[in-house]
Structure 1
């Protein structure tokens, strides 16, 4: 296995949890899947459609997202929104994210106190 493959695997693992948090935060404003995909990628949170759509279905099944169909346009679209449970999870994950970020900052600067 090459160094590039190993690095790519670890980067994928690092990003996996951040995509959940990013979706919960971004979907505080309702949006449909493709717009969410474009928005996240535009922000530098790289996610593939084959990863995002199953994730949205899983988060909805876990009651962390709600959804509704918009049939006002020529092509119906499913809009997702962060649920109250999803908001609580986003707050908890964000708080932990800040703790981890601060700890890593201390490690990288050598200030482990």
Structure 2
């Protein structure tokens, strides 16, 4: 059950960390440091899907080392992040009210 709860917020968690360009491993570390560990097998397909849907843009960089694909939000991605964040806040406020009455 906990896995299902987490699955519903992974997209918003990823979008929340892509205001600037980041590559996959760097993004995984940032999320894990804040308590949202995501497996590579979940993150990389999600990044590709979000890019194909227009929420992300990417570019390849070498920076003197191995090539890495860096991702950031597109304009549509910023709008999606704002919309999902609003929905998340409404949902958590509702759940707080519901849980207050549960004993």
The TM-score, its normalising length taken from structure 1, stands at 0.86
CA-based RMSD of the aligned residues comes to 1.2
Unaligned runs of 5+ in 1: 1-9
Question: Which one of 94, 97, 103 corresponds to residue 88 of structure 2?
Answer: 97
How far the C-alpha of 1:18 sits from its partner, in A, is 1.1
Between structure 1 and structure 2, the one with the greater Rg is 1
1:17, distance to aligned residue in structure 2 (A): 2.4
Counterpart among 27, 35, 38 of residue 18 in structure 2? 27
Query: Offset of 1:23 from its aligned partner?
Result: 1.0
Number of residue pairs aligned between Structure 1 and Structure 2? 102
More helix, by proportion: 1
Displacement over 4 Å in runs of 4+: none
| TM-score after normalising by structure 2 | 0.93
**C-alpha distance in 2 between matches for 1:95 and 1:13:** 20
Compute the displacement of 1:99 (Å): 0.6
What CA distance in whole angstroms lies between the structure 2 residues aligned with 1:100 and 1:13? 16
Structure 2, unaligned runs of 5 or more: none
SS at match of 2:9: helix
